[in-house]
Structure 1
Amino acid sequence: MEERELRAVSRWEWERILLRARLGGLIPARGKRGGVAASTIRVVALVFASHADANTGGRIWPGDATVAVEAEVGIQVVQAVRRRLVALGLLLRVRARSRSHHEGDEYQLTLPIDLLEHIEILSPEVVRTSAAALYAARRGARRPANDTPTPAHPRAGVGVPPEPSDGADNGHRGGSNGSADQHRGDSDGGTVGDPAARDTSPGPATNNTNPIPLDSRADVTTSHARASAKRPQLIRCAPHGIAGQPRADGRSPCAICRVLDDRAHGKLRPAYRDPVSDLARLRHRP
């Protein structure tokens, strides 16, 4: 069997290739054993790469159990992925380590020259194009409240009509009075640059196409005023520092004060120790 040519790479270069590799169907189902999903293969492979030296891509010796815990998969899945990566030439076992000391074999991140003959590797341009298509499909046409699609704003230089030339076509607009381009075909003959011709409304200009009626503004202001007027006033208990709303029965809003009052009048209440009284007894203890 001819030995394959493998090239040792850094962790960064290896991960870049792995993320663009299409790993679906790499470990299919066999008999009672189910296949391994592409996402699971990628996660296990990245866990192996996380233990590699950043510059050389070597010194990888985590045990299968360690990789299984970090990738949240079973040990059999880790073993299947590791064997597949070795078969593809993405991992190279450089040294067998001691099993008695629970040490895994040492591996090196590699890239074979014939990797494209076994799996598909997307180019960076294909990744960008696919990501843009997914984003466009996910975003879709934005629809406001009236279910009218909002047209996308054209980018500069894309889909923008050309500027009119200085030829004879730009001389007249064909108004009723046959005036030049600086005049419109209106009865008053106001110029385009004239502010009075652009704004015929006597009121102040505004950019809001759906202004709020005055009566609605008054209703909103009134509702805020009523809400602030209905807000209850809290009463804070001085001995215990507990704030509460006034009660209809006239009792104190402080729960501790109500408990002490019930105990003073002989009402059966659960045993309770006042922290303020206990602190006072500790301070005055001789």
Structure 2
Amino acid sequence: MSLTKLAQLRELIGSYGSCLVAYSGGVDSVFLACVAREVLGDKSLAVVADSPSLPRRELEEALSIAKTFQIPVRVVRTAEFENPNYIANPNNRCYFCKHELFEELAPIARAEGFAVIAYGENASDAGDYRPGALAAAEFQVRAPLKQVGLTKQEIRVLSASLGLPTADKPQMACLSSRIPYGEPVTEKKLAMIENAENFLRDLGFHDVRVRHHELQARVTSLNRYTVKPAGKDSAVQRFNDSTALARIEIGPSELKRLWENGLNERVAVALKRIGYAHVTLDLQGYRPGSLNQPISVVQRPPV
């Protein structure tokens, strides 16, 4: 079945004549760019969108893979961080990111004669919340993997058959996806997330997300305080300097390892040095798109 779909994909991409691929270095975009290169040769171009939401390691790996497999590649700097709608982090944040991406790619395609812009949405993405697909539709960007019905697992199998190093690569998403909707996206937060995830991956963890939450709890202190005017409540209160909480998601099969040889303490110390006031572990483990799940209010159980 997968080989039949691969043949269909090759035929579909061949019908484009030329193709510009939105390329991130992830499983889907590497596979798509590789097939486009195989079918269209120099009439294909992979373009990486660089911004603070792209981890440096991901950029380096994407360029390295392109070089190894002779995929024509280019890096463009996108400006979604200049868009207040993106910074505000609404639940359709991905729309503004993808809109900025395709707004950069469209002039390149026109100027250099690429007939089609394509990106790596696949058949498995249908079940997740993907506002970026709306931006793709507005710019008439094609999703050939989805069009021929290739699922994520099939893409991994075919990637392995083509010798692509991304065949078993963990599912990735931009760093901004680690921040809950409604909490502003800042470069400082993204740097903290990136450093924390790098530390965990350097320890050998495979499926990793560090979800970044800003707490607004009021705390008391004997060292620094504010006193309300006389005649009113004069409680000694202040806001903690660091209100960031790291909620670590690790693959369920890897959770046990975190408690071996004091690894949990090493992680806590490292993430606090990065700037987190609190370091927690999500007991459900890593779940793709967990911040897309409906938010429910946790109520105190009856006494």
Q: Which has the larger radius of gyration?
A: 1
Higher helix share: 2
Tell me if TM exceeds 0.5.
no
Structure number having the greater strand percentage: 2
Normalised TM-score (structure 2): 0.20
Q: TM-score, normalised by structure 1?
A: 0.21
Question: Which structure carries more relative contact order (alpha carbon 8 Å, separation 6+)?
Answer: 2
